[in-house]
């Protein structure tokens, strides 16, 4: 399966968020166990929700974005609509919970 989740960086973050109406950014790090648990869930959601752009941001390598959005714990998912942050979830939440958050973003 081809990944629908785009790797983004401090340099590409603003363009990625502004060029897509609805965006979810998975903020993670290689050493983070819960991040590794959440990653396949985010991959699944990206293939099931074609109307939402999904990105992955390694917070160890991209600290500007992490600092800008006050990311203190990972995994953190940032939800954007029309370029604006509309929600943030922290932790390796179950898929159903994340689906509910995506549904609310569409309203």
Residue 64 located in a structural domain: yes
Q: Which of 8, 35, 41, 57 is catalytic?
A: 35
The answer to the question of residue 107 being in a domain is no
Both tokens assigned to 10: 């401090």
For residue 106, is it within any domain?
A: no
Catalytic residue among 23, 27, 32, 38: 32
Domain extent for 43: 5-101
Using 50, 70 and 90 to split pLDDT, how confident is the model at 107? confident
Q: Is residue 69 part of a domain?
A: yes
Mean pLDDT of 16-26: 97
Predicted local distance difference test score (pLDDT) of residue 2: 61
Query: What is the distance between the alpha carbons of residues 74 and 44, in angstroms, rounded to a whole number?
Result: 19
Residue 79: inside a domain: yes
pLDDT of residue 1: 54
Flag whether 75 is in a domain. yes
Could you give the residue ranges of the DSSP H alpha helices within 6-94?
10-18, 33-48, 63-68
What CATH number is given to the structural domain containing 65? 3.40.30.10
Residue 35 among the catalytic residues? yes
**How confident is the model over 30-83, as pLDDT tens digits?**
999 999 999 999 999 999 999 999 999 999 999 999 999 999 999 999 999 999
**Is 32 an active-site residue?**
yes
Structural domains counted in the chain: 1
- State whether residue 66 is helix, strand or coil: helix
**What's the confidence (pLDDT) of residue 101?**
96
């Amino acid at each position: 399966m081809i990944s629908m989740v785009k790797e983004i960086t401090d340099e590409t973050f603003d363009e990625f968020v502004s060029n897509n109406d609805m965006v979810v950014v998975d903020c993670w790090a290689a050493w983070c166990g819960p991040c590794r648990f959440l990653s396949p869930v985010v991959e699944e959601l990206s293939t099931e929700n074609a109307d939402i752009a999904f990105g992955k941001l390694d917070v160890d390598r991209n600290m500007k974005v992490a600092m800008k959005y006050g990311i203190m714990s990972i995994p953190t998912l940032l939800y954007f609509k029309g370029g604006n942050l509309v929600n943030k979830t922290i932790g390796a939440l179950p898929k159903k919970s994340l689906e509910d958050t995506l549904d609310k973003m569409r309203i």
